[in-house]
């Protein structure tokens, strides 16, 4: 059975996450379905895509599927891992992708939402950046996505505390475009989608690609890159990393020692 539902109507594509049993955790099979749907919508020349969950959910997505993370001594979030693939698909999709959010957005799902072009949130939406909760090293491009999305101080608070922030705080921090009451969010989001569809698709596709390239135009020396990448290894080679993953699987609080 599929884990998403898709529609394409008047140029507006919708992908609805629908794997309640795992709280829409971004496991490889679910990610593959989203990637395939985006590819299909690209072929059918969708003019905008909406990424959403079912109305009424308490969790939009629980983030990376922790069961799929390696137990240690291997980069858990490498270039070809499903989450990275999904984020590149969203960024490279030739039309705007709107994230419509109800409920909690956790970890890797938060990065997926930040990679979307526009974010419309209900008042009950929350956003949590969780690597420090699990003892996981954050991905470099993921870090950049956040730095481009919000002020550095807010990024630091989210990363260091791993606590969810409210929709209101996310709005003030520029992480989301609008916070809209639950009973209006669908009408609001689809009205915005229709505004986009009414405009020139090539102009929009080119601006999206220009903004993607310009937002990533941070010159860095090879030594600087190696240093940042090498720092991640300190984390995934650590005892704390293995403990974080073990504790999640055993449904208990992790005990960290900083080594
Ligand atoms: C696998 C899950 C998950 C899950 N994976 O329902 O960005 S990083 O670096 O942090 C990256 C590595 C990452 O994204 O890590 C994941 C970050 N996510 C989280 O920390 C959230 C983990 N989940 C939760 O705290 C709770 O599940 C929430 C609050 C989202 C929902 O709570 P609720 O009481 O509604 P359950 O906890 O009972 O979850 C239902 C089922 O989904 C599984 C969970 O193990 C449970 O499985 P079983 O029914 O087999 O017991 N599940 C939830 N999240 N990220 N599996």
Tokens of 170: 């996310």
* Residue indicated by tokens 């030594």: 223
In a domain, 156, yes or no: yes
| Domain of residue 38, CATH code | 3.90.226.10
Q: Is 134 in the pocket of ligand 1 (CB under 6 A)?
A: yes
Q: Establish if 159 belongs to a structural domain.
A: yes
Question: What is the reported pLDDT for 135?
Answer: 96
Q: How far is CA 33 from CA 17, 105, 138, 203, in A?
A: 10, 19, 25, 28
Residue 230 in domain: no
Q: Which long-range contacts (CB under 8 A, 24 or more apart) does 228-233 make?
A: 228/140, 229/140, 231/137, 232/75, 232/137, 232/138, 232/139, 232/140, 233/75, 233/137
**21, 58, 62, 113: which to mutate for ligand 1, most atoms within 8 A of CB?**
62
> Does 65 contact ligand 1 (Cβ within 6 A)?
yes
Query: What is the pLDDT, as a whole number, of residue 130?
Result: 97
Report yes or no on 229 lying in a domain. no
pLDDT tens per residue across all 259 residues of the chain:
699 999 999 999 999 999 999 999 999 999 999 999 999 999 999 999 999 999 999 999 999 999 999 999 999 999 999 999 999 999 999 999 999 999 999 999 999 999 999 999 999 999 999 999 999 999 899 999 999 999 999 999 999 999 999 999 999 999 999 999 999 999 999 999 999 999 999 999 999 999 999 999 988 999 999 999 999 999 999 999 999 999 999 999 999 999 9
Residues of the domain holding 107: 4-182
87 within domain boundaries: yes
The verdict on residue 221 lying in a domain is no
Q: What separation in Å is there between the alpha carbon of 64 and the centre of ligand 1?
A: 8
Confirm or reject: Cβ of 68 under 6 Å from ligand 1: no
Counted domains in the chain: 1
Beta bridge partners of 50: 14, 98
**Ligand 1 centroid distance, CA of 23 (Å):** 7
The number of the ligand 1 atom at minimal distance from the alpha carbon of 66 is 5
15 occurs within a structural domain? yes
pTM of the predicted model as reported, rounded to 2 decimal places: 0.97
DSSP string for residues in the chain: --SEEEEEETTEEEEEE--GGGTT-B-HHHHHHHHHHHHHHHHTT-SEEEEEE-TT-SEEE--B-GGGS-SSSS-TT-TTSHHHHHHHHHHH-SS-EEEEE-SEEETHHHHHHHHSSEEEE-TT-EEE--HHHHTPPPPHHHHHHHHHHS-HHHHHHHHHH---EEHHHHHHTTSSSEE--HHHHHHHHHHHHHHHHTS-HHHHHHHHHHHHHHHT-----HHHHHHHHHHHHHHHTSHHHHHHHHHHHTTS-------
Residue 110: Cβ-neighbour burial (10 angstroms; 0-12, 13-18, 19+)? buried
Does a structural domain hold residue 188? no
């Amino acid at each position: 059975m599929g884990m998403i539902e898709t529609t394409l109507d008047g140029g507006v594509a919708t992908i609805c996450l629908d794997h309640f049993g795992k709280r829409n955790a971004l496991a490889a099979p679910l990610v593959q379905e989203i990637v395939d749907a985006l590819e299909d919508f690209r072929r059918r020349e969708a003019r905008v895509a909406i990424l959403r969950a079912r109305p009424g959910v308490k969790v939009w997505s629980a983030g990376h599927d922790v069961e799929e993370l390696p137990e240690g001594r291997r980069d858990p979030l490498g270039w070809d891992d499903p989450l990275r693939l999904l984020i590149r698909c969203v960024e490279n999709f030739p039309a705007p992708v709107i994230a419509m959010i109800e409920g909690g957005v956790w970890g890797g799902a938060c990065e997926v939402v930040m990679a979307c072009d526009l974010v419309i949130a209900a008042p009950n939406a929350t956003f949590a950046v969780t690597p420090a909760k699990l003892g996981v090293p954050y991905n470099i491009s993921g870090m950049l996505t956040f730095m481009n999305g919000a002020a550095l101080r807010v990024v630091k608070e989210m990363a260091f505390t791993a606590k969810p922030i409210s929709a209101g705080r996310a709005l003030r921090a520029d992480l989301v475009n609008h916070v809209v009451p639950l009973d209006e969010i669908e009408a609001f989001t689809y009205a915005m989608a229709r505004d986009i569809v009414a405009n020139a698709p090539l102009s929009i596709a080119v601006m999206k690609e220009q903004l993607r390239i310009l937002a990533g135009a941070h010159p860095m020396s090879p030594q600087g890159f190696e240093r940042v990448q090498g720092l991640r290894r300190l984390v995934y080679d650590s005892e704390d990393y293995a403990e974080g993953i073990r504790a999640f699987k055993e449904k208990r609080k992790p005990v960290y020692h900083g080594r």
